[in-house]
Amino acid sequence: MTPVVITLVSDGTQCLLARQSSFPKGMYSALAGFCDIGESLEEAVRREVAEEVGLEVERLQYSASQHWPFPNGALMIACHATVRPGQTEIQVNLRELEAAAWFSRDEVATALRKDNPYYQQQNGAFPFWLPPKSAIAHQLIKEWVEKPTCSILPA
């Protein structure tokens, strides 16, 4: 089983969500990536965030873990991470991600309440939606919306 870090990045007022081209249309999630051999959880979080969106993690906090059977079985280790306010310019690594964007607490709370995200709008676009409740990414996002002042430790 390969360990994977999944990280919800925030600047304190917004959270960063991203999508891969393999995701269903309109779905955004937390950043994720495999841990390298010999790498600590903290090192993996910092490296993945820097590689995927060009941001430097200031602080991080462990949240939870989840076995994820796809594709070959992985242990997902979920963390919250913060970057410094004002240091939020995203540089999307298009080899790994299709898009990434900052979302407000209100936008994310609205997306969490959506019943049926799988519909196409009349203009052909798909609405912004989040991973299902069974995914640890959903838990991370929900925690961020519900507990905006949770303590996050220095990385």
Range of the domain at 98: 2-148
Tokens of 16: 């960063």
- Judge whether residue 127 has pLDDT over 90: no
Res. 24 pLDDT band, cuts 50 70 90: confident
Res. 63 pLDDT band, cuts 50 70 90: very high
As for how many domains the chain has, the answer is 1
Q: Is residue 140 part of a domain?
A: yes
- Report which DSSP code applies to 52: H
Q: Is residue 92 part of a domain?
A: yes
Q: Is residue 82 part of a domain?
A: yes
CATH number of the domain at 94, please: 3.90.79.10
- Which stretch of DSSP H or E encloses residue 146? helix 136-146
For the entire predicted model, the pTM comes to 0.88
Q: Is residue 153 part of a domain?
A: no
Q: Is residue 155 part of a domain?
A: no
Q: Is residue 85 part of a domain?
A: yes
Q: Is residue 154 part of a domain?
A: no
What percent of the chain clears pLDDT 70, i.e. is strictly above it?
85
